[in-house]
Chains A and B, each alone.
Chain A
Amino acid sequence: MTIAAEPAAPPREQNAEATGDRKATRALDRVVIRFAGDSGDGMQLTGDRFTSETASFGNDLSTLPNFPAEIRAPAGTLPGVSSFQVHFADHDILTPGDAPDVLVAMNPAALKANTGDLPRGAEIIVDTDEFTPRNLAKAGYDGSPLDDDSLAAFTVHPVPLTTLTVGALTGFPLTRKEAERAKNMFALGLLSWMYHRPTDGTERFLRTKFARRPEIAEANIAAFRAGWNFGETTEDFAVSYEVAPAHRAFTPGTYRNISGNLALSYGLIGASRQADLPLFLGSYPITPASDILHELSKHKNFGVRTFQAEDEIAAIGAALGASFGGSLAVTTTSGPGVALKSETIGLAVSLELPLVIVDIQRGGPSTGLPTKTEQADLLQAMYGRNGEAPVPVVAPATPGECFTAALDAARIALTYRTPVFLLSDGYLANGSEPWRVPEPGELPDLRVPFATAPNHDGEFWPYLRDPVTLARPWAVPGTPGLEHRIGGIEKQDGTGNISYDPANHDFMVRTRQAKIDGIAVPDVTVDDPGGAADTLVLGWGSTYGPITAAVRRVRAEGGRIAQAHLRHLNPFPANLGGVLSAYRTVLVPEMNLGQLTQLLRARWLVDARALTQVNGMPFKAEQLATALKEAIDD
């Protein structure tokens, strides 16, 4: 079944109270804000800053950047609209929110592209300066929506953001164009006032970002403060809102805000340290994975080597070469890149060398939707190679979990000498959430021994396996006495010499499969508070947030439903078959056409049903809750 659209529930207003100030303050339990503008308006930066302010304030939060693949689509047009949604709350939340309570629209196109997502009663802040006949026409409006009743369902705050910004910057040595560019900071200042966000961090950030052009830094800060003061003084904004810190949502510790790609990068550096091996990244730029290459290239002082290759094939080839030499080797890409790397992944399976392949999934097939999210590479990761070439698959569930998933992928690669897929996606990569910063001492020990001595009657046999893990010895060049040759041709068991013997090939194919099947992964845990559910919802990867939010809604209305989430898709947790068979109905929400569902049905002959969505966006909790309720009632 597919998921149909349905409006979401508005946030709950808590005891409204006026403070002693001139203006009223209301307390809310959660708010969803969407900043939308032209690709050149700096909406991602604005959203990032608001998020950082919110994180340091102590709210729980979740974000959803949404931008076009074009760097600068024609200004003022619908394809050029870029947006950033942030959901923050005084309790723990799991998604970036189904629908914005507040929309900041920097031009007519941004308004038009986003109005359809707004629930009745939402607030809209528009930059009226941009509502010129020309811009209205570019967005496809016949007349200004600010002048008719088309926005009657919403509270509209018309603000001449551009004029106010330019006015606030009189006296700065800037051209008008440069001054106009600071209007996103004016908007940020206004929203920061509306939601009582701390401002020190943003001012610090601007001073660092524009350290080489202090006049630009000061102008942006002035615009930011002007926006704040505008909220404080203008009649149009009568109320500001408080969203208390989400103290109870967090276990004690030190927290920061982190995106999936950043957490993944840190996880790889952490794995390198914990394995006591130098990190080598071979990569070719591709959206939405390039940020990992950018991040790792900044950390050469951790001994990290980053190699921007001539193509995807060379990127993984170089990584495999570094693995042969004893590095913790990684390649990062997205689905189209995986397609190009397939042959080398097969070689890595045959050579049995450690290699982490990071696939930040995006909409496909082919070039597809480079900046949108999807989970449609699961079967490619599982089966996209010639011959029987099993590869373990690890999938993080949240942006912060990308850190531990990277460590886990490295553990499997190093322990079992195998390529490993780490399947993240565009939503996890760019989305962010508060993350408890781990102490290095908490991280697992990933060290594995290199072979140092002959292992068979004074000879070295590169394919003589560890009886428990079935891993072959990792003998790196430079080790005397262990000189050996490996290759993609079938090898004789033990010696590793070329062998075309039928029985040997049969044995080697089955042994490589058995090695992957035998990888130790934790059991899947089932959350079923009442213990009486006969419907199980099972997810994997980035759907964790929306599924969990939907499950809460179902339970809040008395529905009985059990939930489980997979972090390991190859091998599956050993208890998964038993879990599946314990429920009358198994529902599998996926951002594809049912790929995990196919694997489950094939493996266990269970009547698992897929709930699918492939619109480039994460599931909305309310829609998913409705689908779950319908399935329970079936």
Chain B
Amino acid sequence: MYQLTGVTKRYQRGKEAIDALAGVDLTIADGDQLVVRGPTGGGKSTLLQLLGGLDRATSGTVSLDGTDLGGLSEAALTRVRAATIGFVFQSFNLIPTLSAQENVETALVPLGVKATERAKRAAEALESVGLAERLTHLPGELSGGQQQRVAIARALVKQPKVLLADEPTGNLDEDTRDDIVALLEGLWKELGLTYVLVTHDSSIARRAPRLAVIKKGRLKVTEREKAA
């Protein structure tokens, strides 16, 4: 479970201080889905980075299962990311020189999984996102939707507890967007993940059981219905 208490993230731009997050309090229960929406520069991605242990709060605490992520060493934080958190990015962020299967394997490397086991699990993960026939393809040989599926497989192959998706449909056409949203929701339900999705897309936001709107660093959470 995530517990954010009085979280502030301040960036210094020259002499000007900008609060990307200003005193955010938030609780995300295990298995919950939270959709975060808001204008560009409102602090959505900053919130996601703090949840993912990619950055540290200027003040306040971000705790995951009772552990204050801000108090962990860099190495410990890296271990948390490696074992617990899966990321899906807007630009897919695949390694262009590695095949789909090898890209998925990169998530297992820090866990010390042996090569044959890595290959097997990566193939299964790709199969689960409908890319069993594309294992050896390079990212450049795949469509945008397929690349995002590879990225989702990479996020889930290590069986994380948390899935953080930052605008995962931002670079996709409408049809593909719906496929990806459906895939992520299906996996969330199937795997019982804690799922945080950052999006601009109002149609996605409308379907969210729990919506957080963030503006000028302030967060307002709307409960629509209980998560399944």
A binds B: no
